[in-house]
Amino acid sequence: MTHTDKRKTRTRTLSPIGRQIQEALATFLRRESSTIKPEHHLREDLGLDSLITFELLYELEKAFDLEIPNEDLPGIQTLADIVDYVETRLRLSTPAATATPNASHSKEKSRWRKVVTPSTKKSTGKLKPQVDAKGKKPRSESNTKKRAALAKSKGKKP
Amino acid sequence: MAPKVVVTGLGIVSPIGIGVGEFWKHAIAGRSGITKLRSFENLLAETYRSRIAGQIPDFNPQAYGDDGLTSRVDRYAQFGLVAAKEAIADAGIRPEHESPERVGVMVGAGMGGMLMAEREIAQLYETKKPSRVHPLTVPSITLNSASGILALAFGAKGPNLTISTACSSGIHAIGQALNAIRAGKADVIIAVGAEASITPLALAGFCSLRALSSKYNETPARASRPFDRGRDGFVMGEGAGALILETLQHAKRRNVGIYGEVAGYASTSEAHHMVVPREDGTDIAKTMTLALNDANIRPAQVDYVNAHATSTMIGDEVEIRGIRQVFKRRTNTLFINATKSLIGHTLGAAGAIGAATTLITMKTGLVHPTVNYENPDPECQLAGISSYVQKGRVNVAIANTFGFGSNNGVLVFKRLVAR
């Protein structure tokens, strides 16, 4: 239901992160990125089955150091939903976490990574000023316990 | 004509009990074996999206007879050995009285020696010392390690195979045993499904696949809820099931009790998708029909279905859709239950535990509850599914399993009419 609403009302240009995800989808689907619209429904319009969607989410979790719980999945139906979700989550997470691309991940090859990795790396740099511009300071107080724990556990890893 | 093949012995290792007696007592009582996940050596349970599992606590293989083998093999093979020992004792088989080359072993294992594999890999990467890799690593992680050990333990020199078809492995092990005996390749086959893959990597992999329940981490006993509206994925389980198959003639000569006949078997692929079944249920229906044809049994003769029913949103729905297509009006009078509601999804062991459950149901006339079937999903609402124990005579039953990789396996069991 959400995607049909959006289809009618929303005309939007994609943010840098949005364009990365769009590019990743284009590579995976082997089609022109300009043919993939923000309002496109992942399953109905782009033909992504659940497994492919989970692969995409996994690549995003890795690229942006996020943890996307199963409860959040029902709200992720369209490309615009993904972009909004990732951007909201990044705003809530620590700059340190978003700015550190996972070293091991760029070495591997997959149908997804060719696109997600390089452009992610480029724009994670851009992400910081973007976030700072909105006046959100490094936000220890806004962090949920979970995010804090996540960052902590990340620090422990080699 | 191919000989009739019967089951004369059963063995079960499960999260609700080791041994058929313990398992059945708790199954009938509707006791869930799902608990909070125990943390791994170096990884906390809290780091997992799904933090519940059907684990077998404090499993001590030595308690079931120390044969000098059990302690040296991977946990999954230990489960298989313990279940097989029980089944052999139950069937009254004395290996020394059999011709060794007429006794075979068929094992179904989804993932094999994962625990050993993961431990050794992690250690190798950490120490960077190849010489510290355990000498039993390769003989443990090869998928046929359990079938090899079982042959060794019981002196079985006949056909010896390992079937690995993910979640349907256990059914196919029994099905291949049936085929081998029908073809005259063996008189007796020890058919086992065994799995111990609640390991750091396998659990993480299933979490990433978003196939596991994550809504009930605080209420583990409620997490595995096949056919219920509130289900949100399966719960990992571990264990083993073992069945002794032999020709009817062989069983009669030994003058032993018979659980029932393995009357039919079918194996198909949907050639459809890596992990999900075809939504209309036609391939599942086709597999059930093929198995019934193999048994020369009409759908209207079937009394009970031991469902695959893992508690995933799509899987349970598709299975019921398939059942409706095959059984038509009979659907409403079938007993159906989900053993996974009690013990979670034991992957490669599931088919063997399900088949053993089917035969116990036939023998006792008791259909164990499908626990947590509280608020039936309208797509899965049938009169014969209940969260309470049901009573009734079961003469013909089928056991379903559907595995990743579009793999389907169905067995048909039939009460043997005494002559």
In chain B, which residues have their Cβ closer than 8 Å to the Cβ of A73?
210
Name the average pLDDT for chain B: 96
The C-alpha of B274 sits at a distance from chain A's nearest C-alpha, in angstroms, of: 8
In chain B, which residues have their Cβ closer than 8 Å to the Cβ of A153?
47
Judge whether A151 is closer than 8 Å to chain B, CB to CB. Answer: no
Tell me the C-alpha distance between B130 and B133, whole Å.
Answer: 6
pLDDT at B351: 98
Name the residue ranges covered by the structural domains of chain B: 5-254, 265-414
Instruction: For B313, name the nearest residue in chain A, comparing CA atoms only.
Output: A50
Query: Do the Cβ atoms of B196 and B76 come closer than 8 Å?
Result: yes
Q: B257: Cβ–Cβ under 8 A, 6 or more apart, which residues?
A: B8
Tens of pLDDT, residue by residue over B67-110, are: 788 888 999 999 999 999 999 999 999 989 999 999 999 999 99
Percentage of chain B exceeding pLDDT 90: 91
Cβ <8 Å between A153 and B49 = no
The C-alpha of A151 sits at a distance from chain B's nearest C-alpha, in angstroms, of: 12
pLDDT at B71: 81
pLDDT at B67: 75
**Span of A125-139, B6-20, B159-173, B354-368 with lowest mean pLDDT:** A125-139
Tell me the C-alpha distance between A106 and B227, whole Å.
Answer: 42
Name the average pLDDT for chain A: 68
Please give the class, per CATH, of domain B265-414: alpha beta
Find the catalytic residue in A49, A65, A72, A84.
Answer: A49
Out of B47, B49, B276, closest to residue A70 by CB? B49
pLDDT at B407: 94
Query: Do the Cβ atoms of B392 and B51 come closer than 8 Å?
Result: no
| Residues belonging to chain B | 419
B158 three-state secondary structure? coil
Per CATH, is A2-156 categorized as 1.20.120.530? no
The C-alpha of B341 sits at a distance from chain A's nearest C-alpha, in angstroms, of: 21
CATH number given to B5-254: 3.40.47.10
In chain A, which residues have their Cβ closer than 8 Å to the Cβ of B210?
50, 54, 70, 73
**Model pTM?**
0.86
pLDDT at A94: 57
pLDDT at B70: 82
pLDDT band at B166 (very low <50, low <70, confident <90, very high): very high
For the packed helices A113-133 and A79-92, what is the interaxial angle rounded to 10 degrees?
Answer: 50
Nearest to A83 by CA among A144, A22, A32, A136: A22
Cβ <8 Å between B275 and A51 = yes
| pLDDT at position B361 over 70 | yes
Out of A49, A58, A153, closest to residue B208 by CB? A58
Tens of pLDDT, residue by residue over B189-198, are: 999 999 999 9
**Span of B37-41, B147-151, B161-165, B177-181 with lowest mean pLDDT:** B37-41
Query: Do the Cβ atoms of B194 and B76 come closer than 8 Å?
Result: yes
Out of A51, A70, A153, closest to residue B214 by CB? A70
Out of A49, A58, A71, closest to residue B273 by CB? A49
In chain A, which residues have their Cβ closer than 8 Å to the Cβ of B214?
69-71
Cβ <8 Å between A51 and B232 = no
Name the residue ranges covered by the structural domains of chain A: 2-156
Judge whether B47 is closer than 8 Å to chain A, CB to CB. Answer: yes
Cβ <8 Å between A51 and B49 = no
pLDDT at A112: 63
List residues of B with catalytic annotation. Answer: 167, 308, 345
Q: Summarize the confidence of residues B209-221 as an average pLDDT.
A: 97
pLDDT band at A128 (very low <50, low <70, confident <90, very high): very low
Q: What is the ipTM of this complex?
A: 0.81
pLDDT at A2: 47
Cβ <8 Å between B210 and A69 = no
Instruction: For A61, name the nearest residue in chain B, comparing CA atoms only.
Output: B208
Judge whether B272 is closer than 8 Å to chain A, CB to CB. Answer: no
Instruction: For A58, name the nearest residue in chain B, comparing CA atoms only.
Output: B208
B5-254 and B265-414 share one CATH topology? Answer: yes
In chain A, which residues have their Cβ closer than 8 Å to the Cβ of B312?
none
Out of B49, B233, B274, closest to residue A51 by CB? B274
Cα angle A118, A119, A121; round to 5: 65
pLDDT at B103: 98
Cβ <8 Å between A69 and B214 = yes
DSSP B37-56: PPPPSSS-GGGSS--EEB--
